[in-house]
Structure 1
C-alpha cells in the first residue's frame, strides 16, 4: 500500500484544512474547516476553521483500538463532533448561534483486510478506482446545491462589469450568512459544527475490496476548475483521472498556476483566489 498526501495553504491566513493519519488504526482522511461569520481568534490568532479541523484531527489521530472496536465510523464522527462542541464551549463560543460556530467538512476511511469503511460530511469527497480503471464516486457533495445561489450572484456581478474580487465577495456575503442557518437541517447541508443534529446527516458505509486499486479523498480546494458559463460541473471523475495521469502534487501545481493567472476569480468563479488543498491518495 502506497500513501501520498498533500496539504497546501491557500490565499487565506491559515490552512484550515487538515489531514487525518492514524496509521495504527488504518484510519485516513481529510478535513476542511470553515471560519465562523462572527470572527473568533484563538490564543495564537487561530481562526475558528483552523481550530475546528485541528480539534477533529487530533481526536481521530489519538483514537486507540479499544475505543473503536465494535463501533461504526458514523459513531466515531459523532464523538468527534461532540469533542468539537466541548472545545467551543471551553472557548466561550455561543453554541446556540449558528454563525458563531466553528465548522468542518470531513471525508475519512478505515481500511480492513477485505473491506473499507467510510464516512463523509459536507463537501469533502471520496472516490475509488478499480483494476479496470473505473472511477466510482463514493460520496455526494452535500454543499453544492447551497453554493449554487452564491455562485449565480458572483457570476451576475461579473456580467455587470464588476472585476474586483472584494466587491464580488461583499455581494455574496449576505447569502452565505443566510445559508449558515441551514447547517444540519433537512433543507440545508451537513457539517461538523458541534450541533447534535449532525448525527442524522453523517453518510457512511462499507465497500468491499474486490479489484479495488486506489482511494482518493480531497477537500474542495482541489476540485477541477469550471469556467464561467460552462455547464460542466468539473466532476470528481475528472479530478481522479488527472491525479492518475499527473500525480497528486503535479495536479495541485497545475491547479494553483491556473488560480494565479485568474487572481480576480473571473474566468473560474470562486470565493477565494486559492482555497486550501488537502488530499490523501492511497494505492493498493
Structure 2
C-alpha cells in the first residue's frame, strides 16, 4: 500500500479543559483513526485530573497504536472495550447508569495492499475520495437524530403503561442527555464504545477495495459544518486543506454563536 502523505490536525474546544478527542497514527501498521470521547455528564476525574471522555479515547488510542498489523481491528476494539470496562470498575463507576459510563466514538482504518479495513462507532466518520474526484461517506452517523428517537421511545413506553416524566422534564438539557446516554448500544439507540459487551453487536465494520481510491478522511463530529454535507466538507478540505478549513469552520461557528467542539481529522492520500 503506497501512502503518499498523512496529514492530521487537532484543535481543542475553547470551552474544554483538555481535548477529549484522540488521533491514531500507527504508520508502521498502516492504522489511522480518530476517537471522540463523549463529554461526561458527571464530575469524575482520575488522580491526574482526566475525565472519562479523555480516558476512554486514550484507552482506544493506546490499543490501536500498539498493533503490529494483522491482529484485526474488530479484535482490537473488543480488547480496548474490555480494558475500558475494567478501568471503570477499578474507579467504582456506576456502569448500570448509562450517563456514568466513560465512552468514546471510534473511526479507525487499516490500510493494506489491496483492501482497507475499517471499524466505526458513533459519529466519528470515515469518507473516501475516488480517482474521479467523487466523495463518499462510508460509515453511518448513529448519533444523528438520537433525541428524536429517544422522544419516540418515551412515547411508546407511556403508551405501554410505564410511568415516564412528561416531555417538559426532558426539555431540560441535562435530563435529555442522561436519557440519551441510556440508549447506547441498544436497538434504535446509537453506538459508542463504553465497556458494554453489546458494543460488538453494533460495531460498524467492513472491507473496501483499495483500487480506485485516491484519499481517505477520518473526522470527529467537531469537523462537521452546519451548512455543508459531509461530502461537501471533504470537497472543501480538498480545495483548501485541513488548517484553512478548520479556520473557516471556527469562524463560521463563532459568527453564528454555535458550539465549537474539539476538531480532529486525519487525511490520508494514496498512490
Q: Same fold (TM over 0.5)?
A: yes
Q: Is the 8 A contact 2:149 2:188 kept in 1?
A: no
Q: Is the 8 A contact 1:74 1:203 kept in 2?
A: no
C-alpha separation in 1, matches of 2:201 and 2:171? 33
Q: Secondary structure at 2:142's aligned position in 1?
A: coil
Structure 2 counterparts to residues 58-137 of structure 1, below 5 A: 58-65=62-69, 69=70, 71-137=71-137
Q: Secondary structure at 1:116's aligned position in 2?
A: strand
Partner of 1:186: 187
C-alpha separation in 1, matches of 2:113 and 2:123? 28
Alignment: residue pair count: 247
Shift of 1:46: 1.2
Q: Is the 8 A contact 2:98 2:178 kept in 1?
A: no
Shift of 1:93: 1.4
Could you list the runs of 5+ residues in structure 2 that have no partner in the other structure?
A: 151-169
Correspondence for 1:42 among 46, 61, 72: 46
Indicate yes or no: 2:15 matched with 1:4: no
Correspondence for 1:253 among 247, 251, 254: 247
Q: Tell me which moved more, 44-53 or 243-252.
A: 44-53
Partner of 1:282: 268
Structure 2 counterparts to residues 228-239 of structure 1, below 5 A: 234-239=228-233
Q: Secondary structure at 1:93's aligned position in 2?
A: coil
Partner of 1:172: 173
Instruction: Quickly say closer, same or farther: Cα 1:202–1:100, change in 2 above 3 A.
Output: same
Correspondence for 2:61 among 57, 62, 68: 57
TM-score normalised by the chain length of structure 1: 0.83
C-alpha separation in 2, matches of 1:209 and 1:199? 25
Q: Is the 8 A contact 1:9 1:15 kept in 2?
A: yes
Instruction: Quickly say closer, same or farther: Cα 1:149–1:253, change in 2 above 3 A.
Output: farther
C-alpha separation in 2, matches of 1:235 and 1:243? 12
Structure 2 counterparts to residues 118-157 of structure 1, below 5 A: 118-148=118-148
Residues 11-48 of structure 1 deviation map (CA, whole Å, 9 limit, x = unaligned): 21210000011122110000000133222111122111
Partner of 1:28: 32
Aligned-pair Cα RMSD in Å: 1.7
C-alpha separation in 1, matches of 2:9 and 2:87? 27
Partner of 2:237: 243
